[in-house]
Amino acid sequence: MSDANATTPRVFIARHGETEWTISGQCTGNAEIPLTENGKEQVQGTGKMLVGAGKLIDPSKLAHVFCSPRVRAVTTLDLLLGREAQKHLDADGKLTFTDDITEWDYGRYEGITPAQIKERREEEGLGKWNIWVEGCPGGESPGQVEERLDQLIGQIQKIQEPFINGGAVPDVLVVAHGHILRAFVKRWLKYPMDFEFTMMMEPGAIGILSYAHHNIAEPALLVGMGFPNAA
C-alpha cells in the first residue's frame, strides 16, 4: 500500500491448509476432513512469515476474525494466530465462527472428483458443470451462496466504515475454503456470481482485499503492496 493508503482497512482472506481431499481433488463441503501434516506445515509457514507483531497480519490490530466452523478452517486459525491471540480476540467479542463463510454445499457432488462429476453428468445427459451458474444438485445454488456472503460482507463493512479515513486500522481476517473464498472475492468486488473471473488460491495462502480512495463504496482487490524497510 502507498503511504497515502497505509491506514485503509484491509480484509485478509486465508484458505485452510491441505487435506487428503484437496490432494485427491474431491469436493469438500460439509465433510469434516482434517489437515494433513503437510497442511499444518503450510499454515505454520504462512503464519511464521506473515503473522505477528509488526508483520502483515498483526493480531493486536485485528478488529474482527470470521472463521468457518469446519475443523480444517478452525485448525488453520489455531495455527495462524495461536491460542493466546484467539483467547484475547474472543474475550473482546472479536472472534466469530459463522456458517456464512462455510464452503459451498456440494450436495450430491460432495466427496467426488471433477472427473467423476463429468462422468455422472454424461450418464444423466447433462453438459459441462458450471458451479457459478448451476450451483450443486441437492446442495446450494449461486443465489443462496451470494445471499450469505453479502450478509457477511455487510457485517465487515459496518465494522470498518468508521475508520475508512484513518485512525485505528480495523483489519479483518476471514479463514475459510477455496471455492467460497473465490465467491467472496467476486461479491466483495460487486461482481455477479457467474462473472468470469479466474482466481487461484493455494492451500494455506493469504489474499488481501481493501477499499479504493478511502471509500467504503469502492471495495477493491489489493493486488500488490509495499513493505516498510526492516528496522
**Residues 79, 44: contact at Cβ < 8 Å?**
yes
Does 16 participate in catalysis according to the annotation? yes
Distance CA 31, CA 20 (A): 12
Residues in the chain: 231
Task: Determine which one of 16, 64, 177, 179 is catalytic.
Answer: 16
**Residues 71, 51: contact at Cβ < 8 Å?**
no
Does 103 participate in catalysis according to the annotation? yes
130-136 own/partner pairs: CB under 8 Å, 24+ apart: 130/194, 131/104, 131/179, 132/193, 132/194, 132/195, 133/194, 136/29, 136/104, 136/105, 136/106, 136/107, 136/108, 136/109
> Per the structure block, which three cell numbers stand in for 220?
477493491
Task: Determine which one of 18, 103, 110, 140 is catalytic.
Answer: 103
> Hey, which residues are catalytic here?
16, 103
